[in-house]
Amino acid sequence: MYFTISGNTKKDKELIKKATKKVGKRTAFLPKTIKYSVIETEEQLHVLGQVLEQENQSSVKLTLTLHDKEGKIEKAGTEYVFGPLDYQISEGFYPTLMDLIRLDVFKETDETMSVEESYRNEKLLQVLEEELESDQRKVSQVSEVEVNDEVPWERPIFPKKESKEKETVYVDEQADIPTQKSIFEEENDVMGQLEVDPFEETMEDEETAEVEVDLVEANEEPTWTEGDSQEYIEPLISEEVEKNETEIQKATVFDYILDQYPPEHEWMKEKNKLFLNELYSKYQLPQTYQAFLESKEELISQGKGTLLEQLESVQSTNWHELAQEDLLATFEERQQETDQEINEYATEQSSNWERTKEELNKEEQRVIEEEVQKIKERYEKKRDNA
């Protein structure tokens, strides 16, 4: 199930073409050949509203055609044409796909709509809403997966050293104050050697987190010695240093690979990055570099295969039939204009003939009256002479 969008006038088609380029779809010779899913149609309409704002336009006339290839509404292969639709924007408000279709479907009242049409319209709206929700759910799931996936630079290159478990201790407010002071002085000395201060976040977390209390004997007073502090800090420092080292190594190797083997085409840049991340999730950096070199030809062949599929799609399109449909529509439009001009000319000539006919009748009546008067005068003159 997909939509096609077309404009009614040349200006409308230009605006739709600008919106199509802004979304990122390739424009075709005939806009009717561009296919949009339900959620892509929604996005295209939203971008069309933005284009109208940029062009200082308030509305555009367009026609939406729904191609039901699966037969979810009625018979498979049925096409539903909505339009001409008046897409109007007002103060940043853009009509949605469902708004436009509802206005077109229910433009007739219930009194003039048959039961079959009413049922079909309800079914159509229900299917479109389900398709839109399904597409939105898929997009949200993809977004969640992208968010939940571990960021590439957070993955370890080398196995982490096993660190001792952190001991949760209770800090007594009555503990030896000089001892605690010396602990924090030592911590500050260690932190000054690092560019990033990981201990600051840890201290904030400790202030808000619940402190587990170890059970101690009643006669044993808990204390926090310098050795305990050192054991607590060392794993944090090692983890932060290892993390920074991992990020630097990964960024350096990836940049080197992309610089040494730049993509031959613009469309391969993003694909190379995704491919490197996929390899990095399976191998360490040296194996990633080797696997990238070995799979470079395969990656290019995959890209060529995609281009060949697009070429076959273009070649399989019946351009003659599409051009014939477009020319037929243009011919019908020209024929209507010609018929209208002929009707206007015939009406004008008819009115001119009626006016001329009336003038001729008046002239004929005048000539007859003059002839009658002349005959009458001659007859009276002969009678007087006799």
CA 73 vs. chain centroid, Å, equals: 25
Name the amino acid, one letter, at 169: V
Give yes or no for residue 270 having a pLDDT over 50: yes
295 and 364 housed in the same domain: no
126 and 64 housed in the same domain: yes
More reliable by pLDDT, 182 or 356: 356
Give yes or no for residue 198 having a pLDDT over 60: no
C-alpha dihedral sign at 55, 58, 63, 65: positive
182 and 302 housed in the same domain: no
331 and 381 housed in the same domain: yes
Q: Are 274 and 149 in contact (CB under 8 A)?
A: no
90 and 163 housed in the same domain: no
What is the C-alpha to C-alpha distance for residues 14 and 281, in angstroms, rounded to an integer? 45
Predicted local distance difference test score (pLDDT) of residue 123: 85
Q: Among candidates 69, 75, 67, 72, which has minimal Cα distance to 124?
A: 72
Q: Which two tokens stand for residue 169?
A: 């201790």
130 and 57 housed in the same domain: yes
Q: Confidence band (pLDDT; 50, 70, 90) for 170?
A: very low
Predicted local distance difference test score (pLDDT) of residue 179: 46
Q: Are 97 and 39 in contact (CB under 8 A)?
A: no
More reliable by pLDDT, 228 or 45: 45
Least confident of 44-48, 128-132, 173-177, 218-222: 173-177
12 and 137 housed in the same domain: yes
23 and 96 housed in the same domain: yes
**To 10 degrees, what angle do helices 115-148 and 38-54 make?**
90
Task: Determine how β-strand 78-88 pairs with β-strand 2-7.
Answer: unpaired
Predicted local distance difference test score (pLDDT) of residue 188: 54
Last residue of a domain, one of 241, 260, 279: 260
Q: Which two tokens stand for residue 98?
A: 């469902």
Chain segment 309-329, per-residue pLDDT in tens: 777 777 777 777 878 888 888
More reliable by pLDDT, 102 or 214: 102
What is the C-alpha to C-alpha distance for residues 133 and 141, in angstroms, rounded to an integer? 12
Most confident residue range from 45-54, 136-145, 193-202, 366-375: 366-375
- Range of the structural domain that residue 286 is part of: 263-311
Last residue of a domain, one of 120, 148, 176: 148
143 and 7 housed in the same domain: yes
268 and 135 housed in the same domain: no
359 and 233 housed in the same domain: no
Q: How many CB atoms lie within 10 A of CB 118?
A: 14
Least confident of 87-91, 178-182, 231-235: 178-182
More reliable by pLDDT, 33 or 369: 369
User: How many domains, in total, are found in the chain?
Assistant: 4
Give Cβ neighbours of residue 95 (< 8 Å, ≥ 6 apart): 45, 49, 87, 88, 89
> Three-state DSSP class for 136?
helix
**Mean pLDDT for the stretch of residues 242-249:** 66
Q: Are 157 and 249 in contact (CB under 8 A)?
A: yes
What is the C-alpha to C-alpha distance for residues 246 and 240, in angstroms, rounded to an integer? 10
pTM as predicted: 0.37
More reliable by pLDDT, 295 or 114: 114
What one-character DSSP code corresponds to residue 348?
H
Predicted local distance difference test score (pLDDT) of residue 144: 54
Predicted local distance difference test score (pLDDT) of residue 183: 47
Number of H helices, E strands in the chain: 10, 3
Mean pLDDT for the chain? 71
Last residue of a domain, one of 280, 311, 342: 311
Most confident residue range from 84-88, 170-174, 302-306: 84-88
Q: Confidence band (pLDDT; 50, 70, 90) for 124?
A: confident
107 and 14 housed in the same domain: yes
Chain segment 127-156, per-residue pLDDT in tens: 888 888 888 888 777 655 554 555 444 555
What is the C-alpha to C-alpha distance for residues 244 and 242, in angstroms, rounded to an integer? 6
Q: Are 303 and 310 in contact (CB under 8 A)?
A: no
What is the C-alpha to C-alpha distance for residues 260 and 286, in angstroms, rounded to an integer? 15
Q: List, as own/partner pairs, every contact residues 143-151 make where C-beta atoms lie below 8 angstroms and the sequence separation is at least 24, other chains included.
A: none
Q: Confidence band (pLDDT; 50, 70, 90) for 110?
A: low
Q: Among candidates 92, 68, 70, which has minimal Cα distance to 82?
A: 68
Q: Which two tokens stand for residue 138?
A: 């898929």
More reliable by pLDDT, 333 or 305: 333
